[in-house]
Copies of this chain bind each other. A is one copy, B any other.
Amino acid sequence: MNEKRVGTRTIALAYPPSVLSCAAVGGKMESQGPLASFFDELGQDSFFGEKTWEKAESTMQKKALQTALNKASLKPKDLDYVLGGDLLNQCIGSSFGLRDFGIPFYGLYGACSTMGESLSLAALLIDGGYARTAAAITSSHFCTAERQYRMPVPYGSQRPPTAQWTATASGCTILTGEGNGPYITHVTCGKIVDRGVADANNMGAAMAPAAYDTLAAFFRDTGTKPSDYDLVLTGDLGTLGHDIVREFFMRDGIDMGEGFQDCGLLLYDRQQQDMHAGASGCGCSAAVLNGYLLSRFRDGSLKRIVFAPTGALLSPTSSFQGESIPGICHAVCISCDK
């Protein structure tokens, strides 16, 4: 047995898998945002030709995987695994979206950290010699999430300023053992962290301690600092949660700098689109990675980033029963050099 851990929690991949293909699918709000041109497909309503929002979410995953396959001239049987999940009860966005492909499937639940979790495990499966190719995928949908977590959209509930806007989006990355990069070079697994925040309209604050925990472990384990990376990105902490993480690092004497960003603050134009604290949902970080960020690797304007999506592991039931909100954050380092 060879030992590939560095520090306490980080894996330095011996054979860093390469991004072979990627795809991002979004909805109407995403088509009006600053990253619109980076999506492969943008729907002009919330239904994607389906009769229900849940089926629409599955269709987005189907489109994201199919587009990523097409861009690499692959067929479903060329993939050894697909790893994915979503926010819907029993992860039906994934199980119905991926049902027809016939690819061996490991279902995940990491809430909005799922793009980080699926990339992590897909990278480990390839690095370990268990797969030549694997896809990582996730999705979220504003209307399915509102109905499930808060109120059905037609009720017109007012949202507090700390609330975020669940992205209607799906993103898919296909990794391969042989390729020209960018590469997944490091993986840091998250711990469940709960500092007692119980406000389901303030997820950013609830998830911030988990983001700090994983990012601090990543920097400690790899002996690097934020300025060693072009960008260090959280997934969907929004403006409040993101500032909390910056503040936590400041207390340790670490300035996260200008490169510390949040996918939830990139997806929409917060001045024009009035998204309150920012975007959220599994699909937010998935679309920002597979649309915007990976295209910046292709044009050479990004060389090395830390991608660290966060998830809030609550349910409406746990909130009704007075529980606080546990968070988790899974980080990967993506680099144009092995």
Q: How many residues of A contact B (CB 8 A)?
A: 64
Kindly state whether residue A286 has any CB partner on chain B within 8 Å. no
Write the A23-50 contact mask toward B (1 if CB under 8 angstroms, else 0). Answer: 0000000000000000000000000000
Kindly state whether residue A81 has any CB partner on chain B within 8 Å. yes
Q: How far is the CB of A108 from chain B (nearest CB, A)?
A: 6
The reply to whether B96 and A191 form a contact with Cβ atoms under 8 Å apart is: no
Binds B, one of A64-72, A238-246, A262-270, A314-322: A314-322
A105 CB contact (under 8 Å) in B98, B127, B191, B194: B191
Q: Which residue of B lies closest to A91 (CB)?
A: B109
Kindly state whether residue A256 has any CB partner on chain B within 8 Å. no
The reply to whether A111 and B124 form a contact with Cβ atoms under 8 Å apart is: no
Kindly state whether residue A85 has any CB partner on chain B within 8 Å. yes
Q: In the bound complex, what is the Cα–Cα distance between A316 and B105 (angstroms)?
A: 22
Q: In the bound complex, what is the Cα–Cα distance between A132 and B8 (angstroms)?
A: 12
The reply to whether B4 and A130 form a contact with Cβ atoms under 8 Å apart is: yes
The reply to whether B130 and A95 form a contact with Cβ atoms under 8 Å apart is: no
A residues sitting closer than 8 Å to B (CB atoms) are 1-5, 9, 11, 15, 51-52, 54-55, 80-81, 85, 87-92, 95-96, 98-99, 102-111, 117, 120-121, 124-132, 177-178, 189-192, 194, 313-318, 321, 323, 326, 328
Beyond the given A4-B130, A124-B130, could you list 17 further A-B residue pairs with CB under 8 A, ordered by the A residue number?
Answer: A1-B15, A2-B129, A52-B321, A54-B317, A54-B321, A81-B189, A88-B317, A90-B109, A90-B318, A92-B315, A92-B318, A99-B194, A102-B192, A106-B110, A107-B109, A107-B313, A107-B328
